[in-house]
Amino acid sequence: MYGKQSITPHDYQSLGEALALSAPSCGYPYVALDISRITAVQLMSVGSECGTCLRIETSPSNYIEDGATVGIPGVAMATHFEATTTDFPQLPTTSVALQKDYAINRRLLQRRSSTDGDEVRYIYVLAVDTGGRGLDMAQVSFTALFGQSMSPMDASWFPVDDKYCDDIWRNSTKKQLESPTSMRDIPVFSGRSQAPPGLGPVDSADKAQPTSSASTVQVSLATAVAIFFTTLCF
């Protein structure tokens, strides 16, 4: 769950009703998530890393100020996502809190420099799916971080405390799919980098720790919840 390379946007919100009838690799029903703030991760271990809160950092120089005004359609589209969503059948309220029990690579964190890092822009997203190279991050969050969603951008990512992603777990009904967080409301921060040194492309980064038995139980529960929701929809 550590990496440093190009990441890409993923337009979850254009999938329409398919989101109500399916679930990502981790099994969490999309209605339980703020789909504007989720990501797919290359080589993610479904058995131990689902529900990991990731901090995504990038250089301020990667941000395009007022991108919509200079003719970047990805920005204009992202700012109007809330008007392009689909009506969904009513689903029962659920309480999904099947997060974590992944093993953070302590060796990497211990190598962190004692001095402050470079200034960065950063956001927090929830890992809920497996994807292609690097990250496939929700397009709304991608656009909020970079000011555009037309091309891959360089970023670093690493796991952080779950508290930073608490508000991504909506634990609610269809309303969250109909009214996801708009780009203007995505929390984007500026500050010193906290990325551990030595990060690189996913296939050369430090490997995840073995799956724990507790993690396996959590994934089984998540799968059961997803099947329950799918059955109701049909």
Domain boundaries, the chain: 3-233
Q: Is the pLDDT of residue 228 over 60?
A: no
| pTM of the shown model | 0.67
Q: Which amino acid is at 87?
A: D
Write out the DSSP string of 35-71: GGGEEEETT--TTT-TT-EEEEEE-GGG--TTGGGGT
Q: Residue 35 burial (CB < 10 Å; 0-12/13-18/19+)?
A: buried
Per-residue pLDDT tens digits for 65-112: 765 444 444 443 343 333 333 333 333 322 233 334 334 444 444 444
CATH number of 3-233: 2.40.40.10
Per-residue pLDDT tens digits for 192-225: 999 998 888 876 444 433 333 333 334 444 445 4
Q: Count CB-CB contacts under 10 A for residue 171.
A: 13
Q: What is the CA radius of gyration of the chain?
A: 17
The Cα–Cα gap between 95 and 211 comes to 24
